């Protein structure tokens, strides 16, 4: 997808009569990073799963806390009688 397209019949480079005073440093092409749709989907699915697990843990913690408060209140009322 992001690969360069080369011409079918390359033309020879033009010849120059002069020589440069200093050698020009070679430029290296930047590395091509290819991100596939599968990788993007995997990251999104992983994020959704981790978010769902975190929400499940939070809901469980809140329900356990509410149950503990209710049981404590019931036991305290029973000890007063």
9-50 pLDDT, tens digit each: 767 666 666 666 677 777 887 777 777 888 999 999 999 999
Q: Report the candidate in 27, 43, 45 with the shortest Cα–Cα distance to residue 35.
A: 43
Q: What own/partner pairs with CB < 8 Å and gap ≥ 24 does 46-53 have?
A: none
**What pTM was computed for the model?**
0.49
Tell me, yes or no, whether 2 lies in a domain.
no
Domain extent, residue 60, equals: 38-81
**Model confidence at 53: pLDDT above 70:** yes
Tell me, yes or no, whether 12 lies in a domain.
no
Tell me, yes or no, whether 3 lies in a domain.
no
Cβ burial 20-53 (10 Å sphere, 16+ → b, else e): eeeeeeeeeeeeeeeeeeeeeeeeeeeeeeeeee
Tell me, yes or no, whether 8 lies in a domain.
no
Looking at the 3D structure of the chain, how many domains does it have? 1
Tell me, yes or no, whether 15 lies in a domain.
no
Average pLDDT over residues 64-81: 86
Do residues 2 and 32 touch, judged by C-beta distance below 8 A? yes
Query: So what's the pLDDT on residue 3?
Result: 78
């Amino acid at each position: 997808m992001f690969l360069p397209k080369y011409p079918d019949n390359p033309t020879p480079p033009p010849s120059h009569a002069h020589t440069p005073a200093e050698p020009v440093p070679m430029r290296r092409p930047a590395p091509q990073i290819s991100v596939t749709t599968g990788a993007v989907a995997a990251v999104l699915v992983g994020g959704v799963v981790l978010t769902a697990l975190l929400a499940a843990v939070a809901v469980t913690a809140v329900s356990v806390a509410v149950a503990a408060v209710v049981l404590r209140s019931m036991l305290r009322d029973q000890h007063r009688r």
